[in-house]
Amino acid sequence: MDKSHTASVLIDLSAAIVSVRGDQPVCLTVPDVSEYQTPGLPFGPFYPDRHRTMEIGLRQWVVEQTALDIGYVEQLYTFGDRGRRSEGPEGADGQNEEEHIVSVGYLALSKQCPQPDQWSEWYKHFPWEDWRNGRPNILNQQIIPYLEAWSGSDEIRRLRLQQAFGFPDRAWNDEFVLDRYELMYEAGLVWEAYADGRQKEKISAQNGIAMQLDHRRILATAMSRLRAKLKYRPVVFELMPSSFTLTQVQKTTEAILGAILHKQNFRRQLAKNELVEPTGQMSKARGRPAELFKFRQDASQSSNLPGLRIPSVNPETSRR
């Protein structure tokens, strides 16, 4: 059975390189030259000859092509080419009729994000994920009604709707970014479903800015993973400069979670877990000056892996 013939694939390493600019989480994107002009995640091929591991390969092309200093790198998921339209000639040197591509998604964190135009804000692609100003309107106005109609009386679909969106009677869970996106994809609610031919008509409402291929799915995976990780590992500091105020840490965390946190309790967590230490300097800004802190490196070793327990704020009961 000529296995090597049918089983041979190319490997793409795709990266969701995340940073935070102001109060917006952003993600490095590359522009698209095709008719739709949808942005995509940067990616590069994996050359097993040249790189001992895939992570080394990834770091290499990120350094070469973006000159970014990415500290934290984590493998997300490996996608067989589901939903990937093999659009275009994909390199005119193609020897096979059609070469299959498997893409390995990575999450990387960067402290800086130069060249603002190349960084795309998370919540432009996922407007329903930002709850910092209360429940996003797009949910009640667009998404939920459509999804409810789509699920009809199908028990499975209703359960998934309940699980992913908390509709009608459960709480919103900020970690289920991927579940929500996949549900919307299946329901034909995002442009990619149309592009992949799952959906006859182009959807009218613009439910966030689409991305190339399965890149929005990869970004959703990255968001889910980062939101979850934040709560049990001190990864926020991979996004912070060397010294910072506690409020800056909180704002960054809130940006990623898409939720507002309780200030005093947030600080209590930081203090209890000894994640930061004072630098002795003060920041100067608008109001009362804040103390400047730095991350305690050895905290990452702490065997009880304290991230930031999320003392979130209930938007209903709190006056903002």
Name 291's Cβ contacts closer than 8 Å, sequence gap at least 6: 245, 246, 278, 279, 281, 282, 283
Residues 288-317 binding a second copy (CB under 8 A) are: 298, 301-305
* The entry of a second copy, DNA, none that residue 49 binds, CB within 5 to 8 Å by partner kind: a second copy
Q: Are 70 and 109 in contact (CB under 8 A)?
A: yes
Nearer to a second copy, 173 or 245 (CB): 173
Contacting residue, 173, 247, 265, 312, with a second copy by CB under 8 A: 173
Pairing of strands 119-121, 24-28: antiparallel
The answer to the question of residue 288 lying near DNA (CB under 7 A) is yes
Q: Which of the ranges 108-116, 126-134, 143-151, 286-294 carries the binding residues for DNA, by CB under 7 A?
A: 286-294
The answer to the question of residue 153 lying near a second copy (CB under 8 A) is no
The answer to the question of residue 8 lying near a second copy (CB under 8 A) is yes
DSSP 122: H
The answer to the question of residue 315 lying near DNA (CB under 7 A) is no
* The entry of a second copy, DNA, none that residue 299 binds, CB within 5 to 8 Å by partner kind: none
Q: Which of the ranges 37-45, 48-56, 140-148, 277-285 carries the binding residues for DNA, by CB under 7 A?
A: 277-285
* The entry of DNA, a second copy, none that residue 312 binds, CB within 5 to 8 Å by partner kind: DNA
The answer to the question of residue 286 lying near DNA (CB under 7 A) is yes
Q: How far apart are CA 14 and CA 43, in angstroms?
A: 4
- The residues facing 103 across adjacent strands are 12, 79
DSSP 213: T
Q: Which of the ranges 27-35, 70-78, 183-191, 305-313 carries the binding residues for DNA, by CB under 7 A?
A: 305-313
Residues 66-85 binding a second copy (CB under 8 A) are: 75, 77-82
3-state helix/strand/coil string of 59-98? HHHHHHHHCCCEEEEEEEEEECCCCCCCCCCCCCCCCCCC
Nearer to DNA, 170 or 268 (CB): 268
Which contacts qualify for 185-188: CB closer than 8 Å, 24 or more apart?
Answer: 185/83, 185/217, 187/146, 187/147, 187/150, 188/150
Contacting residue, 44, 166, 311, 315, with DNA by CB under 7 A: 311
Nearer to a second copy, 113 or 222 (CB): 222
Contacting residue, 156, 171, 317, 320, with DNA by CB under 7 A: 317
Q: How far apart are CA 316 and CA 76, in angstroms?
A: 34
Which one-letter amino acid corresponds to residue 253? T
- The least distance separating a second copy from the CB of residue 170, rounded to whole angstroms, comes to 4
SS3 state at 114: coil
Q: DSSP H helical segments within 79-190, as ranges?
A: 122-125, 137-138, 144-151, 155-165, 177-186
Chain contacts with DNA (rule: CB under 7 A) = 245-247, 262-265, 268-269, 272, 282-291, 309-314, 317-318
Chain contacts with a second copy (rule: CB under 8 A) = 2-4, 6-11, 45-54, 57, 75, 77-82, 91, 93-96, 99-100, 102, 104, 159, 162-163, 166, 170-173, 298, 301-305
